Structures are given as structure tokens and as C-alpha cells.
A and B are shown apart, each in its own frame.
Chain A
Amino acid sequence: AQSVTQLGSHVSVSEGALVLLRCNYSSSVPPYLFWYVQYPNQGLQLLLKYTSAATLVKGINGFEAEFKKSETSFHLTKPSAHMSDAAEYFCAVSQGEYGNKLVFGAGTILRVKS
């Protein structure tokens, strides 16, 4: 069964600092991987997705993620944090022939300090 582990339920960075949110997955077949962001009291917004094309994926708002098969990782990064990046971030994996269900990690709350 596929699963996702997000290391660190809370991450705090200073404004302008590097953002690194960690995601490891387990999957018996090549996965499709996603990062979503959720602002307070809102729905989920897709940041970026990996679908077996380029291993370095660029998303919206300056975020990017690199798929590393050998490490089964798909960490999310942003070179310089902005106050508006404060939100909860979810990594998700999808596989399977039927329904292509998304399996989510537990989420990481990002706090940006001024």
C-alpha cells in the first residue's frame, strides 16, 4: 500500500530564509506525487505535481520539488520565505489503476517569522 510521511508537523523559518518541507513516500509502482497548500479556513490548492517527466518540478509561488527515486523523497523547497507562505502543506501520492486515489501525508504547518 502506498503511504506518505511528512517529517515535522511544524516548521518555522525567518522571512527570507530557505523553506524545506520534507516528504517521503512508499509505493510499489512509479508514483505520481503532489504538493498542496491550504491557507486557514480554505480548501486545497495545488502547488506542483510530479508525473514521471522531469525530476525537478517547478510550481506556483516560487516553490519547487525534486523527485529522488533512490531516496523515495519529494521534498518541497523555496529559496526565500515570504510571510504569505504561512500555511499548511500536504504531500500526496497517487497510483493504481482504479480511481487513482490520492493518499495524503499528515501535513506540515509552516510558520514564517518576521
Chain B
Amino acid sequence: NAGVTQTPKFRVLKTGQSMTLLCAQDMNHEYMYWYRQDPGMGLRLIHYSVGEGTTAKGEVPDGYNVSRLKKQNFLLGLESAAPSQTSVYFCASRTIYSGSKSIYGYTFGSGTRLTVV
């Protein structure tokens, strides 16, 4: 099925370890986003990308890096994990083209649950 796929779905890290979360979309969307979800805080934007090779900081970028080397993939990296990064991470994508079926149609992945101990 077309959509946004996130890997892994679950991960436990020790403080100081590094890891990369992968987001892949097969809808040829231009825009991609990484959010983190914490109880009582909704979803907060970490980084986003408006096209291949471009990235920008969101609301809570500290401690994270991203890369968009291919249009379909958006990677989120944690260089040195901290307990404060325990969260559920969501990737989303959308097209820039308006139209009855796609205008502002964000598609979300199913999330990655990360625990840092």
C-alpha cells in the first residue's frame, strides 16, 4: 500500500548511543517532516524538508540531525541519545500541488517508539 513507512517501530537505546530513524514515502511527495509526540504536548516539529537535498529546523531541533539525500527518504539521526529524547516519533509527507484530492493532504507514518535508558 502507498504511504509513509517508518523503521524501526520500536527501539531501546542506552544514553550516549546513536541511531537513525528512517522514513520512506512512495507518493513522490516534495515535503517531509519529523515530529515527536510527548504526553500532554501534542506533536512538535523537529525538522522538515521541502525537497531533495534541503532541510530546515523546526520547533525542537536540538539533539537531532536529518538528511534528505533522496526524495523518497528522510532520515532522523540521534548522535548521542539522552533520556529526554524518549518519545514517539512520527514522520509525515505531503505534496506541494493543490487539488481536490491532495490539497494539504499530509500522510503520517505509524510512528517509532523510542526509549532511552
With known contacts A49-B104, A51-B103, A106–B111 Cβ distance under 8 A: no
Residues in B with CB closer than 8 Å to A102 are 33, 43, 45, 92, 106
Per-residue CB contact flags for chain A residues 51-72 toward chain B (1 = under 8 Å, else 0) read 1000000000000000000000
**Residues of A contacting B50 in the complex (Cβ-Cβ under 8 angstroms):** 98-99
- Point out the residue from B40, B58, B108 that lies within 8 Å of A106, measured CB to CB: B40
In the assembled complex, the Cα of A32 lies from the Cα of B94 at a distance in Å of 14
Interface of A: prevailing SS: strand
Docked Cα-Cα span, A59 to B103, in Å, equals 15
Task: Sort chain A's interface into a size bin.
Answer: 20 to 34
From A44, which residue of chain B is reached at the shortest CB distance? B108
- Report whether A104 and B42 are in contact in the complex, using a CB–CB cutoff of 8 Å: yes
Given A4, A36, A100, which contacts B104 in the complex, CB threshold below 8 Å?
A100
Binding site for A on B (CB under 8 A): 31, 33, 35, 40-45, 48, 50, 56, 58, 90, 92, 94, 103-106, 108-111
- Taking A90-B42, A103-B45 as known contacts, 4 extra A-B pairs with beta carbons closer than 8 A to each other, sorted by chain A number, are A32-B104, A42-B110, A46-B106, A104-B43
A residues lining the B interface (CB < 8 Å): 4, 6, 9, 32, 34, 36, 42-46, 49, 51, 90, 92, 94, 98-107
